[in-house]
């Protein structure tokens, strides 16, 4: 074609065509997603409430590598590179209601997750329900099943092979 990559890019741009992101995850598996949705729908049909739970962390300070300053002047800021203050929150969602919220000033590991399940989440559940969670390594190490057993609360056994499990939708 005897044309540069930049020339092709500019020609495509003049035609009004731009590159778009795909909205599908590269590891998504449509079959497992359909199986998961089918199981979730069957629980809804049986009258079980669906409770979603997750955790999130927030940095106390964020790095802003760029800033604004008058032309010809430097933009100067300071940042404490030794500060590692992070706040983590873990909670559950039923419908549009958040509950069982706890705040931690440390990373959430399997012990913290276990105690949160045992002392906060499970006692706040009034009926049998299905709990949907991501499968991080800490949660997958049977923390939830152990907390459920020790708290004497029973949550539906029908999903998967254990007390609570959620099929992965990413194909693994």
Q: Where does the chain have alpha helices with state H? A: 5-14, 30-45, 110-116, 122-124, 137-140, 143-150
Which one, of 35, 155, 16, lies nearest residue 164 by Cα?
155
The CA-atom distances, in angstroms, between 102 and each of 37, 87, 124 are 29, 10, 13
Global pTM value? 0.62
Mean per-residue pLDDT over the chain, rounded: 76
pLDDT band at 79 (very low <50, low <70, confident <90, very high): low
pLDDT digits (tens, 9 = 90+) for 13-38: 888 888 777 778 888 888 988 998 99
Q: Where are the domains of the chain?
A: 29-56+84-172
For 138, phi and psi rounded to 5 degrees?
-65, -40
pLDDT digits (tens, 9 = 90+) for 127-172: 888 888 876 665 655 566 666 565 544 444 333 333 333 333 344 4
Compute the distance between CA of residue 106 and CA of residue 35 in angstroms, rounded to an integer: 36
Sheet holding 86-94, edge to edge: 97-104, 86-94, 50-59, 130-132
**CATH number 3.30.420 given to 29-56+84-172:** yes
Q: Which residue has the tokens 């969602």?
A: 93
56: number of Cβ within 10 Å: 10
Degrees, nearest 5: CA angle 148-152-153: 65
């Amino acid at each position: 074609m005897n044309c540069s990559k930049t020339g092709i890019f500019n020609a495509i741009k003049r035609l009004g065509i731009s590159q778009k992101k795909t909205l599908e995850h590269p590891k998504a598996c449509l079959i497992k997603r359909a199986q998961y949705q089918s199981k979730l729908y069957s629980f809804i049909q049986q009258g079980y409430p669906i409770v979603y739970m997750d955790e999130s962390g927030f940095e106390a300070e964020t790095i802003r590598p760029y800033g604004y300053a008058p032309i010809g002047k430097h933009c100067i800021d300071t940042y404490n590179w030794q500060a590692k203050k992070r706040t983590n929150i873990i909670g559950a969602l039923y419908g549009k209601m958040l509950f069982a919220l706890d705040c931690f000033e440390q990373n959430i590991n399997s012990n913290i997750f276990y105690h949160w399940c045992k002392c906060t989440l499970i006692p706040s559940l009034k009926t049998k329900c299905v709990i949907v969670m991501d499968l991080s390594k800490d949660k997958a190490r049977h923390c939830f099943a152990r907390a459920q057993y020790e708290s004497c609360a029973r949550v539906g056994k029908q999903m998967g092979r254990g007390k609570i499990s959620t099929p992965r939708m990413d194909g693994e």
